Chain A
Amino acid sequence: MPRRTDIRKVMVIGSGPIVIGQACEFDYSGTQACRALKAEGYQVCLVNSNPATIMTDPAFADATYIEPLTPESVLAIVRRERPDVLLPTLGGQTGLNVAVALAESGELDRLGVELIGAKLDAIHAAEDRSRFKDAMVAAGLEVPRAGIATTVESAISVAEDIGYPLIVRPSFMLGGGGSGFADDREQLVELVRRSLADSPATEVLIEESVKGWKEFELEVMRDGADNAVIVCSIENVDPMGVHTGDSITVAPQQTLTDREYQAMRDDAITCIRAIGVETGGSNVQFAVDPGTGRRVVIEMNPRVSRSSALASKATGFPIAKIAALLAVGYRLDEIVNDITGETPAAFEPTLDYVVVKIPRFAFEKFPEADPTLTSTMKSVGEVMAIGRTFKESLGKALRSIEKTGFDLGSDGPAPIGAEDVIDAIREGTEHRLLLVERALLDGNTVDVVADASQIDPWFVDQIAEVVEGSEDLRGRRLTDLTADDIRRAKRIGLSDRRIASLTGAGVRAATERRLELGVRPVFKTVDTCGGEFAARTPYHYSTYEESDEVTPADRPRVVILGAGPNRIGQGIEFDYACVHAAFALEEAGFESVMVNSNPETVSTDYDTASRLYFEPLSEEDVLAVVESERPEGVICQFGGQTPLRLAHFLQERGVRVLGTPPSAIDLAEDRGKFAEILRELDIPAPPHGEARDIDEARRIAREIGFPVVVRPSYVLGGRAMEIVYDADDLEHFVRTAAEASPDHPVLVDRFLEGAIEVDVDAVSDGTDVFIGAVMEHIEEAGVHSGDSSCAIPPQTLSDEEMDTVENITKRLARRLGVVGLLNLQLAVKDETIWVLEANPRASRTVPFVSKVIGVSLARAATLVLTGRTIGDLISEGVLPDDPHHYRHLRFTSVKAAVLPFNRFRGADTILGPEMKSTGEVMGIDHDSGAALAKALIAGGTSLPVKGTVFVSVANRDKRAILLPAKRLADMGFRLLATRGTAGLLARAGIPVEPVHKVSEAEAVGPDPDGVPAPTIVDLLAGGDVDLVINTPFGRGARTDGYWIRTAAAIAGVPCITTIPGLLAAVRGIEAIGAPASEPRSIQEYHAEAAAVPIQGRLGLAGLTSTTAARTPSP
C-alpha cells in the first residue's frame, strides 16, 4: 500500500504559541512532517501563528500562513487553499481542537477536505472521557472507577458513589489544565466549579484517585494495514499525581518484568485499535498499583504529543515524520529506518542506554503561585540526558537543567522546606529528587524514603548508590584521588563541579585533575537497535566506558552550542537561530556539530546538523565534545545566555569562538564599561548607578530622580526587576534584588516613564552592519521587551528617528567589535533616543524579524562567522540591497507575547520589567489594525465586539483612558468603572455605571434585603464582564487590582493592563468589526515586498503620529 496518489495538497496545522503544556516539541513534529510531505512531492500548506518556529520558515511549506489558530481564521485559509486533506495530529491539542471544530461544523465535508491521521470519531473517542472509558471497558481494559458530571450537584453524587480521594478533570484540555485532587467534598466543589468553567465541553470527569501509583506511557505507531509498534516505553520517577510533563521520567521503563510489560504493550495496541486512530502515533498512559500490579489505562492522546517528541529523541525513531508518511498511505514496512538506512520502520527500537528527562520550572517568576506539583502541568521546559545507566543520565540531566546547585545534587544549597526532609518528599516539588538524596544522606533507609515519596524503591536505591559514591570522595584531597576513583565518580554521574565540591577544590582544578589522569568520556551512538546494525546517523552521547564510536569527519567542522532547556526568557527563538546556523554551515561547506540538551527542539533532530551530540551545555561536557571533534571554531552567540556564558571558558582552553569575541561580549554586559562606551560615542543612556546597600540606593535615586528601575546584575529575563516610584518602596525592592544575585551590586537606573521602546536586530561583519529591522514596542518602556508587543514597520517613529536608531546601531556594532548578530534596545522620549542595552548575540526577535522581512538573519550571521562580509551577502542576494527594506513593507507585522497566568492561579497578571511570557504570536495584514487584532486573537485574547467593559485605571493613566473609553462606548459597549474612574468618565460625558471594589463592599454594606453589594469580582465570577481594563497602582497580593486581575484570569476574561495595550485592543476590536481581509501566505507577502519599488514609507492607513503607541492627550 504505497502513498496515496489522489492527494495533491496537504494542510498541516501547527500548535501556535509556546504555552505551558504545549511547547516547541510541536515545532519539531510539524517541521518533520512538512519536510517529509514535501519530499514526497505533495504541496504543503501550513497554518501556525507562532513566528518563532522553524516550520513557519517559508522553505518548509509551499504556502505558510502565520494566522490565528481559530476555526474562523483557519477556515478562511482552507477556503482559499482548497487542500485535499487536513493533517490535524501534529499540532498538539490546539491544532487538533481547530480541526475538530472545522470538521464538526461540516465545513470540511462541504469543501471536500478529508481529515487524515485521525478521523473525527476517533478524536472524539479519545478525548471525550466518558466515551474513552466505555471504549476501554468494551475492549476489555481496566480503567479507574469514574463518573461524569456536568453540574456541581451531580459531581457530589458521583463522588459519593466512588469515594474519596478523587481526581477531577475537564474534558478537552491540554496539559491537564484545570484538573486536580479532592480529598473531601469541599475541595471537590471548588475544583468542579473551576473545571466546568475551563472545559470547552462544560463537562468534568470524576475518578478514583490513583495518586501514588506507578506511571507509565507507551508510544504506539499504527499504519493503515493495522500494523502497530511500540516506539518507546517511558516510566515516571514521580508517581501518579504529578503531571507527566512535570515528572522526572526514564526511558525505557525500568521496573516491569517482561510479563507485565508485554501485557501493557497489548493494552496499548488494543487501545489505539479500539479508539480507531487509523494511522500515526498515539500515546497511552497507564497507572500500575505498586502493591498488586493492577494496571489501569489513564488516557490516550490520538496525536503526536510531548511524550512523542521525547520518545523520538530517546530512541532515534522519528515519530512525527513517520506519522506524516503513514497518514498519506505508507505502511510501516515500506518506510526505511533512517538510522540504519537498511532496516524498515516496522520494528521496535531497543535502547542500550538510559534516558532521563527532567522538567524545568519557573516558579521564581511567579512568587504567588503554588510550587507544589499536581496534575496540572506547570513546567516551562525540559532537558533530556543520555547515559549508559540511570545514575549517569540523572547526573547529566541535573547539570543540563542549568539551575544553581542542581548539578551538586544534595551537596547544593538546601532547598526551601528541607527542615523535615521526609515530610518534604511526600509532595512533588521541583526539588524533590534533591531532597530524596538529602534524606538518604541523612541516614534514612531506601525503604523509608521510597515509602514517603512513593518513588519506586529501585530509583531511590539508584540515588542511594550516587550518595554512597559521593560520600566515598567527601573530604578527600583532589590530588589523592586515583584515576579509578574519578572514573567511578563519573560513572555514577557526578559532575566535575560536584567532585570539586566534595573534595573542597575548584571546579577547574577538578577538571584538570581528571584530564591529567586520563579520565575522559567516550562517545557512543544512538542507533535504535542496541548495536545489532551499523548506524548511519551520527547521533552521539558521552559516557565513561572503553570504546569511542566517533570518527573525525573529513570536512572542516563548526560546533554550535544550543540553548538548553526552554525557560521564560530563553525559548524556541534561540533554537530557531541554532537550526539556521546548522543549515547555513552546510551551505558554506562545513560539517555542523550541534550540542544541546533539549528534547523538544528541531536542533536535536538527528538530521538538522551533520552531527548531533545530546549533551549538557556545561563546561566539562562541551569541552569533551570540542576535544573529540576538534572544530575550526565554536558558535556561542545563537543559543542565548547559555552558550554565551561558556565563551570565556572555551577561549581560555584555546578554542576559537567564532564571531564577536568574549571580550566584546563583556563590554556590552558590563554596565560600567558599556556606559563608558556610550559616553565616548556620545550616545544618550538613562542615568544610573550601582548600589551595594540601601543607603547607596537612596542616594542614587535622589540623584537621578524617581521613578527608577531596580534590578540585580547578572540575571536573565528581568529577574527581580522592578520600577520604583518612591523612597518607601525602594528599600523592599533593593532587598529583593540583592537576594536574587547576592554577590553583585544592585543596579538603579532612571526609568523613562511613558517612553516608546524600540528593538533592533542587526548583523555585523565588524565593519558593515545590516539592519534587519527596527521594531517599535506597543507597550511603553517598563514592560520587559519579551512581554511587549512590537510592530514592523515602526508605527509612530519618524524616518529621522529610525535613521538615528540605525546610526547608533552601526556605531555601537563597530565600537564593540560585533561580528555576527546584535540586538539593541532603545527608548524614545522627549525627542531623545536613549540606549538601554546591547546584546551581542541572537535575540528573541530574530525569528520574528526574519519572517517579516523574508531574510534569515541567523543564516546571514552564520555566513558572516564563516568569513563572508555583509557586502558579499548583499551581492549574492542573501541580504537585500535596500538599506531601508523594512520601512518599505506595505504590510504590518505585530508580535505579541503569550502569558501563562492561567497556569498559575493566584499569580498577578500585570506586565512589568520581569519577563513572564512563555511564547509569542504574530499577526500580519495590510491593515495595521487587523494585524494587531490578529496578534491579540492568536495570543488567545478573545476580544469582545459587544458587551460589558470594566475600567479601573491608575491616577497617572486617567487622562489617557478617556479617548479609548469614549471609543468603546461609541461602539456600543456598556462601561463599568470603580468610583474614581467612573467619576472621571462621567464628567467627560461618557456613559458609565459605577461598581464596587472588593475593599469597598464591606464599607458599603448589604442592601435593605441583606444582600451584600456585588463587587467587580462577583460580576467577573458571574460572567457579566467581557473585558477588563486595569492599569496597576500598587503591587502585590491583596490590593484591589490584584483581586480584579486574578478574578479576570480565573473567569477567562481578557484583562488589559497598559494604556497602549488598550489602544491596540480598541483598534483590534474595530478591525474585527470590519470585513475580514483575505488571508495571505508569507510567501505572498515576501514576493510582494520583493516586487515593490522603493518609494518611501507607504500606506499605514489610519495611523497618524498621535495614535497607537504614543500616549495621547485627551
Chain B
Amino acid sequence: MTRGSEALLVLEDGTAFRGRAFGAFGETFGEVVFNTGMVGYQEVLTDPSYARQVVVMTAPQQGNYGTNDEDPESAAIQVAGFVVREASRRASNWRAQRTLHEELAASGVVGIEDIDTRRLTLRIRETGAMRCGVSTEDLDATSLVARVRERSGMEGADLAKDVSADVAYEARELVGAAVPHEDATYRVAAVDLGMKRTILRSFAAEGIEATVFPAGTPAAEIAAGGFQGVFLSNGPGDPGATRYGIETTRALLGTVPVFGICLGHQLLGHALGGATYKMKFGHRGANQPVKDLRSGRVEITSHNHGFAVEARAWDPEITPEIAASADEPSIVRTPTAGRVALSHWNLNDATLEGLRCLDVPAFSVQYHPEAAPGPHDSRYLFEEFRTLMRAGG
C-alpha cells in the first residue's frame, strides 16, 4: 500500500466519501468536525481538544508549508484522523522540516485526501456533528458504516484525563522562564485538561510562572501550593462528564483568582451552577467575531468547541440574541458565587463566549485568546488575569 491508494470515509448517516490515503494507513473512528481556518493545520493537529475527533479542513490545500518542531501545541498529533481536499507533496517554508504526509505517517494518524470536503462540510452543517470512520483497509461502505454506528459519541465522554499530563511539572521546563512584568512575576496553578502550549507561552510573556497539574488533581493539593491564581485549560470531551474538573473549580472559586479557557470556561459555568449543551456542529476556526460588551470591542477569535455554556440556565428570561447586542453585559445571579456578568458573545450566532464573576475573582472565555492558530486580538485576557492576581483577587 502506498500513499495515494484508495481510502474511504463514512458518516453514521450512511454518507460515503471515496478518496485517497495519506499519512498512516489503517482505520480510525471519531466524531467528524470541520475547521474553517485557512492556516494553522499543525496547531490543529496537535491541539489536545481534538482528541477522538476526525477533523475536516475546509481550506482545500493543506500541508503547503510542511511541519516543524516549533509550532506544535502538544507533544503529539491529537486528532483521530485528518481529512483534506489536497495534501501538499512538497513542504515549502524556511522553517519546514517534514511534509504533512510524513508527519501523520510518523505519528500513525490516518489521513484521507482528494474528497469533496465542501460537500462533507455542508453535510455536517445540515446534520450536525456525527460519528465517522476512515479506512484504508475496509473499502466497503456498508460494513464501515455499521462499525461506525457501534462507536460511542462525544456526549458523556470524559476525555480530559486521556490527554492531560501524567505528573505535575513546571511550565518553564517547556517554554522557558516567565518574562517579569514591572519586575513582578506571578505563580499560578494550571490545570491541564488538554492544554495547548501557547497558553503557557502566553503566561510566560505576561510574567506568569505556571505549575502544570494533571486533570483530576484535588483542589486541596492545588490550594496547598499557595498559588496566586488558578488556570483551567482547554480540553476535549463533554464538560458535564468532567465531574472532577467541576468539583475542583467549585472548591477553589472565591479562594483565589480563577481564569478558564474553553473547557475551563465550561467547567466554571458548571461550578457556577450553570449548564452546558452540545452544539449542532460547534465552532472551529479562526474568524469568529466575539464582542466584549464591557468595552464594545469586537475581537476576531480562534475557536474549537462543540459544547457551550447555556446562559438561560441561570436566567430563563435571557434571550441570547438580545443579550449579545446589548450595550452592556447582562448580569445573572448564580447559586454559588453571586453575580456574574455575561461579558462576551459570539456575533454570528449569539453563543455565550465569556463570563466575569463580579463577587469573586474569576473569569473565563469559551474561545482561545492564546490563538495558535488564529488572530491575536484577545491576548489582553492574559493581562487581565495578571491584573486580577495583582489586585489579590
Contact = CB atoms under 8 A, between A and B. Distances in A.
B296 A446 contact: no
A223 B347 CA distance: 16
Contacts of B65: 255-257, 458
A259 B125 contact: no
A343 B348 contact: yes
Contacts of A347: 287-289, 300, 347-348
Contacts of A342: 348
Contact of A227 (B43, B68, B298, B348): B298
| B contact residues, range | 35 or more
A233 B68 CA distance: 23
Given A262-B373, A333-B298, A531-B58, A457 B92 contact: yes
Contact of B125 (A262, A293, A332, A532): A532
Nearest to A332: B298
A265 interface: yes
B71 A390 contact: no
A458 B125 contact: no
Contacts of B288: 347
A546 B119 CA distance: 7
B118 A529 contact: no
Interface string A240-282: 0000000000001111111111100110000000000000000
Nearest to A488: B114
A524 B186 CA distance: 52
Contacts, number: 168
A261 B59 contact: no
A265 B375 contact: yes
Contacts of A348: 286-287, 300, 375
Interface string A454-486: 001110010001000000000000000000000
Given A350-B37, A532-B285, A333 B347 contact: yes
Interface in A591-611: none
A531 B351 CA distance: 19
A292 B95 CA distance: 8
B287 A258 contact: no
Interface string B255-299: 000000000000000000000000000000111110100001110
A388 B85 contact: yes
B121 interface: yes
B84 to A, nearest CB: 11
Contacts of B297: 225-227
B40 A545 contact: no
Given A347-B287, A351-B38, A547-B116, 9 more contacts: A253-B39, A257-B68, A259-B71, A346-B300, A352-B59, A458-B88, A458-B90, A530-B58, A532-B36
B287 A333 contact: no
Given A225-B297, A227-B297, A257 B118 contact: no
Contact of A530 (B36, B68, B374): B36
Given A530-B285, A545-B116, A461 B86 contact: no
Given A262-B376, A346-B289, A347-B289, A533 B348 contact: yes
B365 interface: no
B36 A389 contact: no
Contact of A258 (B116, B298, B374): B374
B343 to A, nearest CB: 16
Contacts of A758: none
B42 interface: yes
Given A350-B59, A457-B90, A257 B287 contact: no
Interface string A804-848: 000000000000000000000000000000000000000000000
Chain A interface size, under 10 / 10 to 19 / 20 to 34 / 35 or more: 35 or more
A256 B65 CA distance: 6
A546 B123 CA distance: 13
Which of B61, B286, B374, B376 gathers most chain A CB within 10 Å? B61
B93 interface: yes
A222 to B, nearest CB: 11
A258 B372 contact: yes
B106 to A, nearest CB: 19
A554 B159 CA distance: 50
B277 to A, nearest CB: 19
29 contacts: A252-B39, A252-B59, A254-B61, A257-B40, A257-B95, A258-B37, A258-B43, A290-B94, A332-B298, A333-B298, A343-B289, A344-B289, A344-B347, A346-B289, A346-B347, A347-B288, A347-B347, A352-B117, A352-B121, A458-B88, A529-B287, A530-B36, A530-B121, A531-B118, A531-B122, A532-B36, A533-B348, A534-B125, A546-B119
B89 interface: yes
A343 B324 CA distance: 13
B217 to A, nearest CB: 31
B285 A350 contact: yes
A335 to B, nearest CB: 11
Nearest to A353: B60
B34 interface: yes
Shortest 8 CB-CB distances between A and B: which pairs? A258-B40, A530-B58, A458-B92, A530-B36, A258-B373, A547-B119, A531-B121, A546-B116
Contacts of A331: 298
B376 A266 contact: yes
Nearest to B348: A343
B330 interface: no
A229 interface: yes
B371 interface: yes
A1075 to B, nearest CB: 53
Contacts of B34: 530-532
B298 A531 contact: no
B85 A389 contact: yes
A349 B298 CA distance: 15
Contacts of B291: 333, 346
A350 B58 contact: yes
Contacts of B95: 257, 293
A1095 to B, nearest CB: 62
A291 interface: yes
A259 B93 CA distance: 12
A225 B296 contact: yes
B64 interface: yes
A108 B304 CA distance: 50
A938 interface: no
A354 interface: yes
Contacts of A545: 116, 118-119
A2 B144 CA distance: 54
B306 to A, nearest CB: 14
A262 B289 contact: no
Interface string A642-654: 0000000000000
Contacts of B286: 258, 348, 350
A446 B300 CA distance: 38
Interface in B30-61: 34, 36-40, 42-43, 58-61
B92 A252 contact: no
Contacts of B71: 257-259
A533 B58 CA distance: 13
A461 B36 contact: no
A390 B88 CA distance: 11
Contact of A333 (B122, B285, B289): B289
A352 B373 CA distance: 17
Contact of B300 (A229, A351, A352, A547): A229
A440 to B, nearest CB: 13
Interface in A520-576: 524, 529-534, 545-547, 549
Nearest to A350: B36
Contacts of A388: 60, 85, 118
Contacts of B70: 259
Contacts of B43: 258
A547 B296 contact: no
Residue from A292, A344, A458 with most neighbouring chain B CB atoms (10 Å)? A458
Given A257-B42, A257-B71, A291 B347 contact: no
Contacts of B289: 333, 343-344, 346-347
Contacts of A292: 94
Contacts of B376: 262, 265-266
